[in-house]
Amino acid sequence: MQILITGISGRIGANLAKALTEAGHTVRGLIWENDRRSEKLVGLPVELVEGTITNRADVEAAVAGVDAICHLAAAFQGGGPFTNEQYFEINVRGTFNLLEAARQQAKGLQHFFYASTDAIYEKYIPGGIPEPIREETMKIAPGGQYALTKYLGEGLALGYQRNYGLPVTVFRFALAVAGDEILNFPQFYLSHWLKVYEKLTTPEAAQVYQQLQALCPADEKVAQRCLLLARDENGRSYKKHIADVRDIVQGFTDALGKASVVGQVFQLAAPTPYTWEEAIPYLAAKLGIDYVDVNLTGQVTTFYEFDMSKGQRLFDYQPRYDIFAMIDDAFAFREGRATGVIPTHSKR
């Protein structure tokens, strides 16, 4: 297939391009002029077309003749700051431009993937979410302009599937990590929670802050590296479901061209969630550092996981990288032993 990837210079886009070309597909990428992240694409047999998804002419030129589109480009929190207008122009109008171009310029289109996000769910609520999150039944409550505009993009994409027959599939990504990022995840560290509780003013939060200060090592360098096993007020470990970039790429390659996924929404994430109770002792042992065990009262709990059965049923989605594999491979990446993964950032 001839496949267009928007956002090809991103961590998911670059690794997806690598996987698709290795599978024998021809890949075209729409990329901003002078995008320094394009350095990571050097050596890949991809065609790079300069332009933006907000420019209709650029989009039409990029879409012409392709068999599939993987629409990853977006304005997101980590790439900003963006104004509300910019979020709308990039995430909504940009998606509209691609859908219109696909409808008019790519008559033989076999697949249009729209990359969405789990940020559209109301995941952080008092007490957490006891049952696994399912795509069709979880409450949609986008918080912030990024999540809101991504959800609007979902509606556009699925609307074009219903009204014009475009072969659309929506993927909602869990928080994605690549390279050695998991080793620096802020919520694993005592220093992060000190900053959080320093800003809280309730009496119970003040007590936790005092406890965190008492547990904090006197040596500043040691304190910055101290891990924290987070629990809720009842002593239940925090639980979270994220994704390795490689498993997200696997979702695209597994679903590409399959009729069973057209018009459907799927959550992409790791094979299992993780708890702090599992991850923190393992990470501490690997890093050779200490951790503290704290009930974080006065704080909305992180406690959720995704039901992965829909993807398994409709396109045999089999993600491979759980939290332990992510941590092990992060060390391999940091030590220069990792192979087959394009770095998160280009070297400058």
Condensed to tens digits (0 to 9), the pLDDT of residues 68-121 reads: 999 999 998 766 689 999 999 999 999 999 999 999 987 889 999 999 999 999
Condensed to tens digits (0 to 9), the pLDDT of residues 284-307 reads: 999 999 999 999 999 999 999 999
Report the CATH fold assignment for 2-179+242-271+306-321.
Rossmann fold (3.40.50)
For the entire predicted model, the pTM comes to: 0.93
> Which residue spans within 119-247 are E strands per DSSP?
168-173, 176-177, 227-231, 239-240, 243-244
Query: What is the 8-class DSSP label of residue 228?
Result: E
Q: What is the C-alpha separation between 270 and 304, in angstroms, rounded?
A: 13
Tokens 């309730």, residue located: 202
Q: What is the C-alpha separation between 14 and 37, in angstroms, rounded?
A: 10
Give first-to-last CA distance, the chain, whole Å: 33
Q: What is the C-alpha separation between 211 and 230, in angstroms, rounded?
A: 13
Tell how far CA 294 is from the center of its chain: 28
Q: Residue 128 pLDDT > 80, yes or no?
A: yes
Condensed to tens digits (0 to 9), the pLDDT of residues 51-74 reads: 999 999 999 999 999 999 999 999
Helical packing angle, 145-164 and 94-105, nearest 10°: 20
Bridge partners (DSSP) listed for residue 71 = 6, 114
Helix (H) or strand (E) run with residue 151 in it? helix 145-164
Phi-psi region of 256 (alpha: psi -120 to 50; beta: other; left: phi over 0): beta
Confidence at residue 346, expressed as pLDDT on a 0 to 100 scale: 34
Q: Residue 216 pLDDT > 50, yes or no?
A: yes
Q: 79 near 86, Cβ under 8 Å?
A: no
- DSSP assignment of 13-31, as one string? HHHHHHHHHHTT-EEEEEE
Bridge partners (DSSP) listed for residue 231 = 237, 295
How buried is 338 (Cβ within 10 angstroms: 0-12 exposed, 13-18 middle, 19+ buried)?
A: middle
Confidence at residue 345, expressed as pLDDT on a 0 to 100 scale: 46
Condensed to tens digits (0 to 9), the pLDDT of residues 180-212 reads: 999 999 999 999 999 999 999 899 999 999 999
Condensed to tens digits (0 to 9), the pLDDT of residues 248-284 reads: 999 999 999 999 999 999 999 999 999 999 999 999 9
- 157 confidence band (pLDDT: 50, 70, 90): very high
- What are the residues whose beta carbons fall under 8 Å from the beta carbon of 39, sequence distance 6 or more? 346, 347, 348
